[in-house]
Structure 1
Amino acid sequence: MARSNPSRFLKFLAFAGVSLAILCLALQPVSALDFTFGRKPLDPSVQNALALMKLTPKHLYQWQAETPKSLLLQIHQWAPEKQEMAAALALYIRSQNQNVSARDTWRMAVAFVHYGEKYDLPVDMAVAVAQVESRFDPYARSREGALGPMQVLWRIHSRLLRNHLNMGSSKDLLDPEKGVAAGCLLLSRYMRAHQTEKKALSRYLGAPSSRYFKAFSKFLDRFREHLTLAEI
Structure 2
Amino acid sequence: MMRALLLFLALVSATQLALAEMDREGIDPELRRVLQEAAESAESFPDRFEAEVWLTDMSRRLARQVPDAEERMLILRLVHRYARMFDLPPELVLAVIDVESNFDRYAISYAGALGLMQVMPFWRNEIGRPEDDLHDIQTNLLYGCRILAYYLEKENGDRRAALARYNGSRGQRWYPDRVFDRLGSKWYQY
Task: Confirm or deny a common fold (TM above 0.5).
Answer: yes
> Is residue 199 of structure 1 aligned with residue 161 of structure 2?
yes
> Is residue 218 of structure 1 aligned with residue 185 of structure 2?
no
- Counterpart of 1:90, as a letter, is S
Match of 1:120 among 84, 87, 106: 87
Deviation string for 1:114-147 (max 9, x for gaps)? 1111111111211111111011111211222211
* Greater displacement, 73-82 / 211-220: 73-82
Distance (whole Å) between structure 2 residues aligned to residue 160 and residue 72 of structure 1 = 32
How far did residue 169 of structure 1 move?
2.5
How far did residue 76 of structure 1 move?
8.2
Structure 2 length normalisation: TM-score? Answer: 0.73
How far did residue 188 of structure 1 move?
1.0
After the TM superposition, which residues 1-232 of structure 1 pair with which residues of structure 2 at under 5 Å, given as runs? 45=15, 48=19, 54-57=27-30, 60=33, 74-75=41-42, 78=45, 79=47, 80-95=49-64, 97=65, 100-160=67-127, 162=129, 169-171=131-133, 173-194=134-155, 195-208=157-170, 209-226=172-189, 228=190
Q: Which runs of 5+ in 2 are unaligned?
A: 1-14
Indicate if the aligned counterparts of 1:128 and 1:216 stay in contact, CA closer than 8 A: yes
Distance (whole Å) between structure 1 residues aligned to residue 29 and residue 162 of structure 2 = 39
Structure 1 or 2: larger helix share? 1
Cα distance change of structure 1 residues 58 and 221 upon mapping to structure 2, 3 Å threshold: closer
RMSD: 3.3
Indicate if the aligned counterparts of 1:133 and 1:150 stay in contact, CA closer than 8 A: yes
How far did residue 160 of structure 1 move?
3.6
* Greater displacement, 217-226 / 120-129: 217-226
How far did residue 90 of structure 1 move?
1.7
Structure 1 length normalisation: TM-score? Answer: 0.61
Partner of 2:5: none
How far did residue 161 of structure 1 move?
8.0
Cα distance change of structure 1 residues 135 and 154 upon mapping to structure 2, 3 Å threshold: same
- Counterpart of 2:111, as a letter, is E
Deviation string for 1:153-179 (max 9, x for gaps)? 1213544484xxxxx6342x2122332
SS in 1 for 2:107: coil
Indicate if the aligned counterparts of 2:59 and 2:76 stay in contact, CA closer than 8 A: yes
How far did residue 72 of structure 1 move?
7.4
Distance (whole Å) between structure 1 residues aligned to residue 52 and residue 127 of structure 2 = 29
Cα distance change of structure 1 residues 156 and 175 upon mapping to structure 2, 3 Å threshold: closer
Distance (whole Å) between structure 2 residues aligned to residue 200 and residue 182 of structure 1 = 15
Indicate if the aligned counterparts of 2:31 and 2:69 stay in contact, CA closer than 8 A: no
SS in 1 for 2:42: helix
How many percent identity over aligned positions?
A: 22
Indicate if the aligned counterparts of 1:82 and 1:113 stay in contact, CA closer than 8 A: no
